């Protein structure tokens, strides 16, 4: 196992310190000398050598990657698939790089939904002011006016956004495996209106404002000596905190805060909101849902809150490895009976596709998705 530069430099010092501290009082002089040595190490310089700047491109071209004609992400020079361990022994940096690429992929899929699938981006809340946080969903031109059928797609939890099933599959496999695009195109070819939910877009992140800490010396009622002692303690505390921060956050990443989107602060809230403002108002006689993983839980929550309305409009629900639980979510008997008749859950299994799988929950039938991997289940359907 290889060791990072900072660990390599500091390791013998930590070992010596440990050995000395186990000794008697006669070792105090050596302890003091080593502490002095540690205090003179420039942690900023040390960590800069240990980890490159967290400054990544904001385009696929900047990463030197592109999707080929098969929808596979490939390096534009070597033709090789994406490499996570771009820098050896720098897991945090590699992870940050992967996340930066993932954000670009999200925007890329949004563009495909609009340009390749001809969906419209609809901002929510529908009555949002110009200044408040907003989210959005995607809809086909006829989503609300198609008199016959409407398809609603809900992805799972995590980093995925509208139009995605699994970021990992988009990056490591291809667009058809990891996005909802094949579902959308097939549904539209077969005459469905389409609504694509965006249940993980619950908030926006903004930089946390810096708080002004009033100095204790501003308190004129305290004796001078007491104020001076408090100021000294405060400075020492700040020095120790800054010393620790250089390890925890060596590149001084910005501190962010989350501003939640009104009535869309969770996947469950979002699903109910889209139902009330769009799906329930659609002209479609038959509404169909495809919900993956946590999306299944969100659908069950929708049923609990809008049972009569859902039963009157929804014809069938295809779940894939849904994580819903009718007991924990306290779904009533009438909901469970309806799910048994109108839902099917394709689950991870080594059995052939569509083989019945035993379930301990008294809700919908479970059948094999023909594979073990959770993120691939929608591909198998």
* Alpha-carbon gap, residue 118 to 188, rounded angstroms: 10
Beta strands across the sheet bearing 193-196: 120-124, 135-139, 193-196, 149-154, 286-292, 314-320, 343-347, 366-368, 356-357
H/E element, 343: strand 343-347
Cβ-based burial of 286 (10 A; exposed 0-12, middle 13-18, buried ≥19): middle
Tokens of 114: 């609009």
Active-site option among 135, 140, 293, 322 = 293
Residue 323 in 3-state DSSP? coil
* Alpha-carbon gap, residue 106 to 340, rounded angstroms: 35
Asked if 177 is an active-site residue, the reply is: no
The count of other CB atoms within 10 Å of the CB of residue 293 is 25
224-248 helix and 43-50 helix, angle to the nearest 10 degrees? 20
Cβ-based burial of 73 (10 A; exposed 0-12, middle 13-18, buried ≥19): buried
Residues designated as active site: 293
């Amino acid at each position: 196992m290889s060791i990072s530069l900072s660990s390599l430099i500091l390791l013998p010092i930590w070992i010596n310190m440990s050995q000395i501290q186990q000794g008697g009082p006669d070792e105090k002089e050596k302890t003091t000398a080593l502490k002095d040595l540690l205090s003179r190490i420039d942690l900023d310089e040390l960590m800069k050598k240990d980890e490159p700047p967290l400054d990544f491109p904001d385009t696929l071209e900047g990463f030197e990657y592109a999707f080929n004609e098969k929808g596979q992400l490939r390096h534009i020079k070597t033709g090789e698939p994406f490499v996570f361990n771009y820098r050896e022994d720098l897991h945090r940096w590699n992870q940050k790089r992967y996340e930066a690429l993932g954000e670009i992929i999200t925007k890329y899929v949004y563009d495909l939904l609009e340009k390749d699938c001809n969906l419209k981006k609809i901002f929510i809340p529908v009555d949002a002011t110009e200044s408040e946080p907003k989210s959005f969903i995607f809809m086909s031109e006829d989503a609300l006016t198609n008199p016959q059928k409407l398809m609603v797609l809900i992805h799972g939890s995590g980093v995925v956004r509208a139009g995605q099933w699994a970021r990992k599959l988009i990056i490591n496999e291809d667009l058809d495996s990891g996005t909802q695009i094949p579902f959308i195109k097939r549904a539209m070819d077969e005459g469905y209106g389409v609504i694509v939910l965006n249940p993980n877009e619950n908030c926006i992140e903004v930089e946390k404002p810096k708080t002004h800490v009033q100095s204790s010396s501003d308190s004129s009622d305290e004796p001078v000596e007491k104020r001076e002692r408090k100021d000294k303690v405060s400075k020492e505390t700040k020095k120790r905190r800054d010393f620790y921060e250089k390890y925890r956050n060596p590149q001084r990443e910005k501190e962010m805060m989350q501003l939640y989107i009104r009535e869309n602060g969770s996947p469950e809230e979002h699903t109910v909101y889209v139902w009330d403002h769009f799906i329930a108002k659609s002209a479609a006689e038959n509404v169909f849902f495809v919900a993956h993983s946590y999306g299944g839980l969100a659908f069950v929550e929708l049923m609990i809150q809008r049972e009569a309305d859902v039963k009157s409009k929804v014809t069938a629900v295809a779940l894939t490895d849904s994580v819903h639980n009718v007991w924990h979510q306290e779904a009533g008997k009438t909901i469970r009976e309806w799910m048994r008749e109108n839902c099917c859950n394709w689950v991870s299994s080594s059995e052939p596709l569509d083989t019945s799988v035993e379930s301990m929950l008294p809700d919908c039938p479970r059948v094999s998705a023909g594979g073990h991997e959770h993120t691939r289940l929608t591909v198998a359907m």
